[in-house]
Amino acid sequence: MAGPLQGVRVVELAGMPPAAFTTMMLADLGAEVVRIDRATTNERGITPPAGPLDRGKHPLALNLKDPADLERLHAISRVADVLIEGFRPGVAERLGLGPQELLAANTRLVYGRLTGWGQDGPLADRAGHDINYIAISGALDPVGLAGSRPVVPSNYVADFAGGGMLLAIGVLGALLERERSGRGQVIDSAMVDGSSLLTSFLHGMLANGLIAGPRGTNTLDSGAPFYDTYECADGGYVAVGCVEYPFYLQLLDGLGLAEDEDLPFYMDRTTWPELKEVLAAKFRERTRDEWITVFDGTDACVSPVLGLEDAPLHPHNVARAAFVEVDGVRQPAPAPRFDRTPADTPASSADRAPTEEVLRGWGA
């Protein structure tokens, strides 16, 4: 496996998808990932069959209540660089796999822990999901239309961006620091922390008076007519994001409104509802693809709103090979991209080295 993490050995204690997303990213970048599945569960992985979160990994089914299997995992962790677990606080300790025990045997081990609420705090032991974490982090309230309830943005924000991706960054930081200190450490990655971190820009806008109203009434939350989605004649949608004035002028030109002297100034918040109605009426005159043709080659910042099925077919995504097919499942390609140590396209499960062969290479 190519990539900048080639030679890094990662153990994943299979559990919730956000932790599997962390190890998927590490595998994409070249790390060798051995996923420890429970012997009593489906060995195809946590997103069967052959889901994207399983790609690039080598599964090993162990019964952690069996002393022999538990010792096998201890032996593997003694030669690993990274171990990732996504259990509730205290579960790994009860299994005999807590960081204190494993780091005592392998002082260079980077031990990544991913939870919703974190390892401490009054909610640490409580159940929760993405929607709960973004609710108290402040990330949910700004999402939605004016006068409506908050809109749930699927489970991208806390689970995967604020959780899995944040832990991947933490692992990379810990591996880099280990080059100086020679020691591993424990990473406490909490989805509530990560989703809060994602609102940093919004806190800056709030402090500077750039968020002046409730959800759906501000510049970047669908309140502005130049930053919203519009329905077209065929029921498809376009996304408009022409914040800067020169880009907005190109939008008006494409819509045939450049000569309309009655249009209000686009930054006059008092006229946003009126201007939005004008733009909405224009977009309803043509189909989505017709409008995309009109704005092709311009900086009007108009894009088609594509579904999961259509996104891989967009010419830009095709040109960048932004999607790949692994085990018959079309999915996003590894990212980001490196010029000297590019990542391989994830291999089919049938083409991956057998897990026992990988572990022999580790000396485990």
Mean pLDDT estimate for the chain:
94
Shared domain for 330 and 306, answered yes or no, is no
Say if 320 falls within a structural domain: no
Task: Report residue 291: phi and psi, to 5°.
Answer: -70, -35
User: Can you give the pLDDT at residue 41?
Assistant: 52
pLDDT at 275 over 50: yes
Q: pLDDT tens-digit profile of 65-119?
A: 999 999 999 999 999 999 999 999 999 999 999 999 999 999 999 999 999 999 9
Tell me which amino acid residue 333 is: A
Q: Please give the structure tokens belonging to residue 269.
A: 């918040």
Nearest to 110 by CA among 182, 184, 5, 12: 184
What is the average pLDDT across 294-321? Answer: 97
Shared domain for 169 and 240, answered yes or no, is no
Say if 127 falls within a structural domain: yes
pLDDT at 42 over 80: no
Instruction: Tell how far CA 5 is from the center of its chain.
Output: 19
d(CA 261, CA 283): 19
Shared domain for 101 and 233, answered yes or no, is no
Shared domain for 41 and 147, answered yes or no, is yes
pLDDT at 216 over 60: yes
| Structure confidence at residue 47 as a pLDDT band (50, 70, 90) | very low
Report the DSSP beta bridge partners of residue 85.
Answer: 13, 113
Task: Report residue 329: phi and psi, to 5°.
Answer: -115, 120
CATH of the domain at 257: 3.30.1540.10
What is the average pLDDT across 124-145? Answer: 97
- CB contact set of 15 (below 8 Å; sequence gap of 6+): 46, 85, 86, 87
DSSP state of 43: T
User: Can you give the pLDDT at residue 15?
Assistant: 86
Shared domain for 127 and 44, answered yes or no, is yes
| Structure confidence at residue 44 as a pLDDT band (50, 70, 90) | very low
DSSP labels for 59-113? EEEE-TTSHHHHHHHHHHHHT-SEEEE-PPTTHHHHTT--HHHHHHH-TT-EEEE
| Structure confidence at residue 46 as a pLDDT band (50, 70, 90) | very low
User: Can you give the pLDDT at residue 188?
Assistant: 98
Shared domain for 285 and 306, answered yes or no, is yes
CATH of the domain at 93: 3.40.50.10540
Shared domain for 249 and 130, answered yes or no, is no
| Structure confidence at residue 45 as a pLDDT band (50, 70, 90) | very low
Say if 283 falls within a structural domain: yes
| Structure confidence at residue 192 as a pLDDT band (50, 70, 90) | very high
Name the one residue in this structure whose structure tokens are 């800067």.
244
What is the average pLDDT across 183-197? Answer: 98
Say if 90 falls within a structural domain: yes
| Structure confidence at residue 1 as a pLDDT band (50, 70, 90) | low
- pTM across the whole model: 0.93
SS3 363: coil
Q: pLDDT tens-digit profile of 318-328?
A: 999 999 999 88
pLDDT at 313 over 70: yes
Shared domain for 237 and 178, answered yes or no, is no
Q: Please give the structure tokens belonging to residue 38.
A: 């429970």
- Domains of the chain: total: 2
Say if 41 falls within a structural domain: yes
Q: pLDDT tens-digit profile of 140-173?
A: 999 999 999 999 999 999 999 999 999 999 999 9
User: Can you give the pLDDT at residue 40?
Assistant: 67
Domain range spanning residue 105?
A: 9-198+326-362
Shared domain for 163 and 27, answered yes or no, is yes
The residues annotated with a catalytic role in the active site are 129, 159
Shared domain for 235 and 97, answered yes or no, is no
What is the average pLDDT across 46-74? Answer: 86
Shared domain for 102 and 240, answered yes or no, is no
Shared domain for 16 and 65, answered yes or no, is yes
SS3 25: helix
Say if 107 falls within a structural domain: yes
Say if 164 falls within a structural domain: yes
Domain boundary pick from 290, 313, 336: 313
Say if 207 falls within a structural domain: no
